[in-house]
Amino acid sequence: MIAVVLAKNSIKSYYRFFGARHSILQIGYLIDFELEDEHSSFMPRLRNLSHMSFPWIFDKNKLLLWHKFIMLFGIHLRGIDDIDSFYFDIILESAKKWDKQNPKRIICESYLEMLEREGRLHYPNKCYICELELGDNISLMHSFLPAHSECIYGSSIQKSKILEFFKTKSTLYLEDDEIEYLYDIIMKGF
């Protein structure tokens, strides 16, 4: 099995023998490991794997949300070898808060931080589709791009709430249905 590991400043692929006596390696787990044959011509092998657990790991609903969140990072970072420590840090901080806060709120806040860090955050002034001014209610597309609901045939949300969310990086003032709206956008891809 090939295991892709996100470290503090890199993404590496390793070979992992999978058998009855070996611990199961799942997506999104924080692990400690040793490498065997690190300098060989073949892919290095993971050995002595240990999972670092979090309190929420046995809550299947939280674990499912975690797997979905991490899979989006995997797709987003595919093909990159050297990365900024920001990605590792934001995932680790999210994991630490996962049992104390609504995971969907954590996902929304983390995603917003990522968009800002990557320079992809667009404040809702003009519609991304027709480039006309936006009113009091807006729709959001992939990457939280603002649009008129008529332009994308989508649901709308109050512009003032989105501006507050973008400014504070907090979902505190958003209702659960608004969080669900943002979460659904995020799940379409980073």
pLDDT of residue 20 exceeding 80: no
Comparing CA positions, the residue from 51, 10, 5, 55 lying closest to residue 31 is: 51
What gap in Å lies between CA 146 and CA 111, rounded to an integer?
16
What's the helix, strand, coil split of the chain in %, to 5? 40, 20, 40
Could you tell me the end-to-end alpha-carbon distance of the chain, in angstroms, rounded to an integer? Answer: 26
User: What pTM was computed for the model?
Assistant: 0.89
Q: Provide the percentage of residues in the chain whose pLDDT is more than 90.
A: 69
Measured over the CA atoms of residue 143, residue 148, residue 150 and residue 155, the dihedral's sign is positive
pLDDT of residue 169 exceeding 90: yes
Mean pLDDT of 68-84: 92
Q: Which two tokens stand for residue 64?
A: 């499912």
3-state secondary structure of 33: strand
What is the model's pLDDT at position 21?
A: 59
Residue 14 DSSP symbol: E
